[in-house]
Structure 1
Amino acid sequence: MSGGGNDEKDGAPATPEQRPAIIFWACMGSAGWLLVTGLFVYLSPLPSDCAGPIRCMTLNEWGDFVAGVSAPLAFLWLVVAVFIQSKELSEQRAELRLTRREFELNRDVMKAQAEDAKQQAAYIGQQTALMTKGATESERKQKEQVLETTLEELGSTIRQHLHMQPVILGSGKNNSFQPAVFQTRSQDNEDFILRFADFLNGISSTGVKPPHFVNPRHKVEMMKAYLLAEEARRLAADLKGHSQSRIDRLRVPEIVSIFHSVFLDMHVDVSSAGEAVASAEFKAPWAPGLADDTDANI
């Protein structure tokens, strides 16, 4: 700040110690002037007919005398007052310079604080992004675990409840009921899922002629398998990528499509399938008293 430096050199402000000294010397000068004037009057010769200076002077003369004596004193104190006022103005200018300098420093501090706040905001944004990414990764891992569990449960349901069972009925010789039994030599749950999809798509190749029906004795297990397959398909659609490829490889969407059409034909509300499974009671189609509307075409 070159301007500020030049202003500070214009005049040094009067300090509190300088002011009493100026007034003291002004008082000393005033006292000296009065003393000199008094001695001058006292030592001046008087007319022979005048008993003393006070008695010989009229009021006008006394006024002129006092005015003449006071004029130098007035001028002296005027100079002192102007000098003190100029010094006070110099002090005010110095205070204004200091105030301006403080404002400049405060402005620099505010700029630094704003920059620091900007950096903190950027840091918080990075942390938020990392937390969001971490939450997304955690949610993805949870869905992958649920998908894995769902596929295991689907394969286990097919292996334990539908394998080697007459889950589908159709027409045989002489229009008799002919069961289609799902069977495979697979040992792995995923292979059970894949072979079950092959079974549903190729029932006619087993020798069981249409129309095909779901064996009511296995409706509960079939509904459970449908719900598990639908959940696996939904999770894979959310996860995409490898999970979706895996579901497609196991042909789970085909199982869902076939199951969905089967249970719609059975007039089962898929959205409340859990309640339907819990309360379902079925009879075999060849059992006495079978209600015809409990069968399902496939």
Structure 2
Amino acid sequence: MMRPKAGWATIILIIVTCLTIGVMVGLVIRDWDRFIVMPLNEIGDFLAGTAGTVALIWIVYGYLQQNKALEIQQAELKNSVEALNLQTEELRNSVEQQRLSAEHLGTQAKTMEEQARNTRLQLAEERKQIIVETYPLLTARKAHSRVVDGKLHQNLEFQNIAADCTAGELTISSKTAVSTEKKFNLLRRYEVLDYMLIVESTKEAQTDITITSMSNRNKKRQQTFRWSKGSITEIKCVPPKD
């Protein structure tokens, strides 16, 4: 806290005090003979009158100085309040900037996440397309069927929906099937391979059909289909489709 500096008023007051004391001492010295024979109450009145005047002046001066100090204190307090208000405003602005930055970062993160997701989807689609263009891929469906001499003759169709197949082989794994394996050469995309599955019609045992196909890029794929209870489904594919 700043304190009021001694100015001309203080200096003048000190001078007046010194002069008053000097005058009092001078009067005492001049009338020493009378002073020493004065009653004590008169001496006290003399000293009280002189010192009281000086004390009153200093009391008034102290009161004025105290008021001045209070004014300075009030001004400093006002400045402190203004500084706190400025700090509060700066803090509020800082919080707002951080909030805006957080929102911006959140938007950037969402955008990057969306871009990454799109990139993953694009790469997956490109990989799928590469697989389609590299390996043959057969789908199976059943066509017409008939029973001849107690045996079920089921016509199956395998359609190639991917890369051209330049060579392939179809094998059977079943205790009830009487069909034989089948080899084939060229099976272009979207062409169909017909196969007649012959099984004992009185048997319910399942039949696995494995087809190994080779593409024009010398890439081999092996698929296994299972015939059971009048329907055919794929159960294995190496390499996988995706």
**TM-score bracket relative to the smaller structure:** 0.5 to 0.7
Contact 2:165/2:186 (8 A) holds in 1? no
What's the counterpart of residue 281 of structure 1? none
Matches within 5 A, 1:125-204: 125-155=106-136, 159-162=165-168, 165=169, 167=170, 180=182, 182=184, 186=188, 191=189, 194-195=190-191, 198-199=192-193, 203=195
Distance 1:176 1:116 in 2: 80
Distance 1:99 1:91 in 2: 12
Cα deviation per residue 1:113-152 (whole Å; 9 max; x = unaligned)? 1111111111111221122122112211221121012212
What's the counterpart of residue 58 of structure 1? 39
What's the counterpart of residue 259 of structure 1? 234
What's the counterpart of residue 120 of structure 1? 101
Number of matched residues? 192
Of the candidates 15, 20, 25, which is equivalent to residue 28 of structure 1? 15
Contact 1:168/1:179 (8 A) holds in 2? yes
Distance 2:100 2:24 in 1: 79
Distance 2:178 2:116 in 1: 59
Q: 1:209 to 1:143 in 2, by over 3 A?
A: closer
Distance 1:78 1:209 in 2: 128
Contact 2:3/2:69 (8 A) holds in 1? yes
Q: Which has the higher strand share?
A: 2
Q: 1:210 to 1:68 in 2, by over 3 A?
A: same
Of the candidates 216, 222, 227, which is equivalent to residue 225 of structure 1? 222
1:210 aligns to 2:198 (yes or no): yes
Q: Which has the higher helix share?
A: 1
Structure 1 spans left out of the alignment, 5+ residues: 1-12, 170-174, 228-256, 264-269, 275-298
Distance 2:178 2:105 in 1: 74
Query: What amino acid sits opposite 1:224 in the alignment?
Result: R
Structure 2 spans left out of the alignment, 5+ residues: 137-161, 201-206, 215-219, 225-231
Q: 1:209 to 1:30 in 2, by over 3 A?
A: closer
TM (norm. structure 1) is 0.53
What's the counterpart of residue 296 of structure 1? none
Q: 1:224 to 1:185 in 2, by over 3 A?
A: closer
Query: What amino acid sits opposite 1:160 in the alignment?
Result: T
Distance 1:111 1:210 in 2: 84
Distance 1:153 1:211 in 2: 34
Contact 2:223/2:234 (8 A) holds in 1? yes
1:79 aligns to 2:60 (yes or no): yes
Per-residue deviation, 1:32: 3.1
Q: 1:176 to 1:76 in 2, by over 3 A?
A: closer
Cα deviation per residue 1:138-175 (whole Å; 9 max; x = unaligned)? 2112211210122123228761331xx4x256xxxxx9
Matches within 5 A, 1:235-274: 258-260=233-235
Per-residue deviation, 1:58: 2.5
Per-residue deviation, 1:178: 5.5
Query: What amino acid sits opposite 1:79 in the alignment?
Result: V
Contact 2:134/2:163 (8 A) holds in 1? yes
Q: 1:74 to 1:209 in 2, by over 3 A?
A: closer
Distance 2:47 2:178 in 1: 154
Contact 1:30/1:73 (8 A) holds in 2? yes
Per-residue deviation, 1:21: 2.5
What's the counterpart of residue 77 of structure 2? 96
TM (norm. structure 2) is 0.64
Q: 1:97 to 1:177 in 2, by over 3 A?
A: closer
Distance 1:177 1:110 in 2: 85
Per-residue deviation, 1:225: 3.4
Contact 2:213/2:222 (8 A) holds in 1? yes
What's the counterpart of residue 284 of structure 1? none
Paired residue secondary structure (2:73)? helix
